Structure 1
């Protein structure tokens, strides 16, 4: 049997089949079969080689193309960052459900793609980021500075407080990648300039003033008064379906536990206050501040035992030198430490409290006396030689001095405990009866209330709380109809809700909105008739010779002259000022005219009688320089956008929306 199988797989038929299979791989690429649409990929950016920008994208030339992948982990990290930024900016108005939708995800991924495209172009152009630029960039970040100077302690504390925490090495890599992605855009934007003539022209335009004559033509309501046929109503309704939709709404039942409604706790006894005083005194002792300097002998990631021991021996030698009589620790750190931030300051880490640095450093410092130099201490960064310069225990107060403060703190703690206990009782009752709020309400002595129906834009009662609206309109609450998790409405105030009714967004029947549709049709008729009449009247200005003569011929009030109208001035109604400055400047022996149709069907006819350009010489030098920098920035942004669009057109970008 095996011989027969071998014979069949080595004959001309098998060869022909293999040849046929080669064709799709040759034209479409093996990766389409192996990795196309991989579950861990958000997007793939493919770029032609720098030495052959016009290289075709089909096989075999496609093998020369550079391919960069944006992983799902990268996308999720950026998406989380944008989410956090939006939360900080929008506060309680942040709509998590809308943000989580696919359009937002695609938009965030688009920003990542733009950055990756720029990074590829920068690499192809031979641009690189050096260590000095990375160091200067980090030291220039205000969040890492104290009194305008880079502070290593603040730097490490800020990195350790990130979610998830970052090591300095990881953060440096992030900064390096960010700089690589912005190199090309920064160089392009930084190359822009504005000439004196361009600046003068902009000042002339911004400061331009116009003398105008304006004629107000009242609305002619005859066209709007005509009957509207049912066919016209139906046609308008069908053409504008989004204008006549009932918004999504929900009805909820809820309970609120409010700490302010709780009775005042009884005063704390003497023993409780003294126990609180002792605990605070102990914590103050643990949080003593220590003034510390260090020397770091760095150990690279993945270093072998020999390299680790060699670094340890070097650190031990430095510790011995620092412990010698008359040793200058600051000079030794400046010349020998591998921590560039603190080395420039003689190894100074500033005042340190427990938890600021790794546990090994805290343990070593706790066992040291002021003035002592430690043996080498190992952390993830390498070996540290520590110099404890000073210890500051902090000010202490007597029990009698602290009694009033302790009593107020204990009273607040008792109120918080009572509130937490009530909230716990509600949670226990919800776990036992997740489909009804009544048992939870009875357990804590509150009433179940009903609210709704209300929409996402409601601002009345409890629906004014964005957290309530987010929970009420969440898919889980709408579909399951179970009691929500506790919803915080501020300190000492929690709510629980359950959706009892839900109506999705749906169109209003024409019969319900007939009046609105009819009003819209009449408004459109009025606007169209006014636009037609405005064009006829404007064409008659030149024939009449002036706006005043046209008004006299039409039996209208005389036009009003308005001299020296600045750009953006509010005139009669919105849009009139913009229309005036959109009209051309009057040429010799010609009229410059225009019109604006108002919302009520009225018409504003105007002529531009004179134009006075802005005077560049009257602009102070400081304002002119600010304007110049704004113009340079605007032009630079336009150029960067054009560059990204051009690069996108040259590159092949594949987005896997199904993975987002």
Structure 2
């Protein structure tokens, strides 16, 4: 038997079959073996080698292709970043359901793919970012600066405060990669421009006006022809989406409300308020302030030693003169100070506290003086050398308990309400966790009453459902499908609800028998609308053949309007009408351009553009023109950059694993 099996598996036929089986393994199996069959990516981007742009993608040539991956972790991180950005920007209008849609996730993934494409382009083009460029870029970040200068302590602190913390070397490499990726697109974007001729043409169009004659036709009369069953059925079937009963839900909920209007607020006792006052007394006190006059002898911080010595000697001489009995400091300041802001005022400065509002050496010297009339200096700062005179001391002052009692009582009431709300909400959540599909136990444990809404749709919410966050939760898949209780949803400060869907009715098509009258009315309205449009077309055709719209309108007793110098973008007579008027071509010499506008049900207007006047460029401010020109150049640059990315992607092999999103 074994010998027969051996005979059957040898020979040229068996060899051919074995060869055919090897081919797919060579192209697929070997590659999977070499790459390990990684399932951690949601997209792969492969680019042909720079030395063979037209290299085929089949094995073994594909081994020379360069590649990038968008990992699941990268995608999830970006998804969460965008989620937080949109949640912060949209507030209560943020729609979780729409954000989690497949279309939105794919859009975010496409942005990541574009970044990977640019990374491959930068690598292939040999883009290298030096240490100096990375240093300069980090130093230019406003968040890392203090008083307009890079501050290493702030830099280290902000990196450490990230979750998770970022090491400086890791951040530098991230910045290096960002600069590398952005080099080519920024170069493309910044190279675009808008010519003066382009701006002239654009402005002439923007400022263009048109002289228009407009005739409004009366509403078409209703057709007398009966609506047949065939007509009704055809309309119903072609407009099925208009005849549906919307999706509805009915909720039960617990109202957790300790905010304003929820009941009689508990008034804090005197002892509690006095204790709060003693604890927070510092915030009711104004800090000590000082009034100082000064003389500035200016000297740049980076001046040479001789310049600094000369300024210091002059300041010391002035300080000695100011200390002499009877010396007029104001006169010395007017004659010698190089501070233009205070010189004419005898050097006097507005009162200031020791809070960093003045440069530190100056502030320290001002608050080191003990008595009014004291002279200090020379004091060196980045501006030069100062001579200071203490003019007045405004002692710190605090408000008494009686003065702030009402404020303390209001704050204590708010704190008590917040504490009560958090405590009550916490108890509700604890009970819900024990039984996530019922509110009864939570209501019994907290003394709250289970309430119910009437069934409502997305477009007609009422009561608590009118709150956007409640409405979104009410129609969310989790609550509709699972019947579980929601987390507390905020209605207003110290007022929240927990909800549960007790009844869900999906969207349903309304049977024809139920909407027959409405369908019949729609068919009649459509006929009437088409008749009105036909009348407008007939009038427009006569104008196009050379007849005067004004003459025709007067003969037919139509409502006629002459509208000279209609401006682009004006809602005249409506925004849609304005767009239609400026959409028709410029009329030829001695002729008019015509069009029609729908103004309402079965109501149309016909217009004739008699004259077109281009905008006067001289009336457009030059500064505004330059600003617009820069914006247009930036817009064109961004468009060119995206076109570059799109064309590059066509040369690459991009694979998206949608099932992993």
Mean alpha-carbon deviation: is it higher for 457-466 or for 525-534? 525-534
Report the CA distance shift for 1:603/1:460 in structure 2 as closer, same or farther (over 3 A): same
Q: After superposition, what is the alpha-carbon deviation per residue over 1:62-91, rounded to whole angstroms, capped at 9, x for unaligned?
A: 333222111111100110011111101110
SS state of the match for residue 166, structure 1? Answer: coil
**Distance in 1 separating the partners of 2:404 and 2:572:** 67
Alignment partner of 1:517 is 2:516: no
Alignment partner of 1:588 is 2:594: no
Q: How does 1:59-138 map to 2 (within 5 A)?
A: 59-138=59-138
Query: Is this contact kept in 2: 1:251–1:500, CA < 8 A?
Result: yes
Deviation of the 1:104 alpha carbon: 1.4
Q: How does 1:19-34 map to 2 (within 5 A)?
A: 19-26=19-26, 30-31=30-31
SS state of the match for residue 595, structure 2? Answer: strand
Query: Is this contact kept in 1: 2:44–2:654, CA < 8 A?
Result: yes
Q: Which residue of 2 aligns with 1:653?
A: 654
SS state of the match for residue 513, structure 2? Answer: coil
**Distance in 1 separating the partners of 2:448 and 2:466:** 21
Q: Which residue of 2 aligns with 1:570?
A: 571
Query: Is this contact kept in 2: 1:534–1:597, CA < 8 A?
Result: no
Q: How does 1:476-495 map to 2 (within 5 A)?
A: 476-495=478-497
Report the CA distance shift for 1:428/1:635 in structure 2 as closer, same or farther (over 3 A): closer
Deviation of the 1:431 alpha carbon: 4.2
Deviation of the 1:102 alpha carbon: 1.4
**Distance in 1 separating the partners of 2:155 and 2:232:** 67
Q: How does 1:534-553 map to 2 (within 5 A)?
A: 534-552=536-554
**Distance in 2 separating the partners of 1:171 and 1:30:** 38
Deviation of the 1:183 alpha carbon: 2.4
**Distance in 2 separating the partners of 1:170 and 1:228:** 75
Segments of 5+ residues of structure 2 without an aligned counterpart are 283-354, 357-395
Report the CA distance shift for 1:583/1:423 in structure 2 as closer, same or farther (over 3 A): closer
| Selected match of 2:474 from 469, 472, 479 | 472
Query: Is this contact kept in 2: 1:128–1:180, CA < 8 A?
Result: yes
Q: How does 1:145-544 map to 2 (within 5 A)?
A: 145-223=145-223, 226-260=225-259, 261=262, 264-265=265-266, 267=268, 413-544=415-546
Deviation of the 1:263 alpha carbon: 5.4
**Distance in 2 separating the partners of 1:413 and 1:21:** 76
Q: After superposition, what is the alpha-carbon deviation per residue over 1:282-319, rounded to whole angstroms, capped at 9, x for unaligned?
A: xxxxxxxxxxxxxxxxxxxxxxxxxxxxxxxxxxxxxx
Query: Is this contact kept in 2: 1:567–1:577, CA < 8 A?
Result: yes
Query: Is this contact kept in 2: 1:45–1:117, CA < 8 A?
Result: yes
Report the CA distance shift for 1:457/1:82 in structure 2 as closer, same or farther (over 3 A): farther
Q: How does 1:633-652 map to 2 (within 5 A)?
A: 633-652=634-653
Report the CA distance shift for 1:259/1:620 in structure 2 as closer, same or farther (over 3 A): same
Report the CA distance shift for 1:514/1:649 in structure 2 as closer, same or farther (over 3 A): farther
SS state of the match for residue 571, structure 1? Answer: coil
Higher radius of gyration, 1 or 2? 2
Deviation of the 1:17 alpha carbon: 5.2
Segments of 5+ residues of structure 1 without an aligned counterpart are 282-350, 353-394
Query: Is this contact kept in 2: 1:527–1:599, CA < 8 A?
Result: no
Query: Is this contact kept in 1: 2:586–2:593, CA < 8 A?
Result: yes
**Distance in 2 separating the partners of 1:409 and 1:556:** 71
Report the CA distance shift for 1:571/1:228 in structure 2 as closer, same or farther (over 3 A): farther
SS state of the match for residue 600, structure 2? Answer: coil
**Distance in 1 separating the partners of 2:593 and 2:279:** 86
Report the CA distance shift for 1:117/1:600 in structure 2 as closer, same or farther (over 3 A): same
Give RMSD over aligned pairs.
3.8
SS state of the match for residue 452, structure 1? Answer: coil
Deviation of the 1:449 alpha carbon: 0.8
Query: Is this contact kept in 2: 1:274–1:399, CA < 8 A?
Result: no
Report the CA distance shift for 1:415/1:587 in structure 2 as closer, same or farther (over 3 A): closer
Deviation of the 1:636 alpha carbon: 1.6
Q: Which residue of 1 aligns with 2:615?
A: 614
**Distance in 1 separating the partners of 2:172 and 2:72:** 22
Q: After superposition, what is the alpha-carbon deviation per residue over 1:84-122, rounded to whole angstroms, capped at 9, x for unaligned?
A: 111011101111122112121111101111222222223
Query: Is this contact kept in 2: 1:268–1:411, CA < 8 A?
Result: no
Report the CA distance shift for 1:169/1:493 in structure 2 as closer, same or farther (over 3 A): farther
SS state of the match for residue 566, structure 2? Answer: strand
Q: Which residue of 2 aligns with 1:599?
A: 600
Q: Which residue of 1 aligns with 2:376?
A: none
**Distance in 2 separating the partners of 1:558 and 1:266:** 69
SS state of the match for residue 598, structure 1? Answer: strand
Query: Is this contact kept in 1: 2:569–2:575, CA < 8 A?
Result: no
Q: After superposition, what is the alpha-carbon deviation per residue over 1:200-246, rounded to whole angstroms, capped at 9, x for unaligned?
A: 111111111111222222232244x5433232232223223333333
**Distance in 2 separating the partners of 1:209 and 1:476:** 55
Aligned residues: 547
TM-score scaled by length of structure 1: 0.73
TM-score scaled by length of structure 2: 0.73
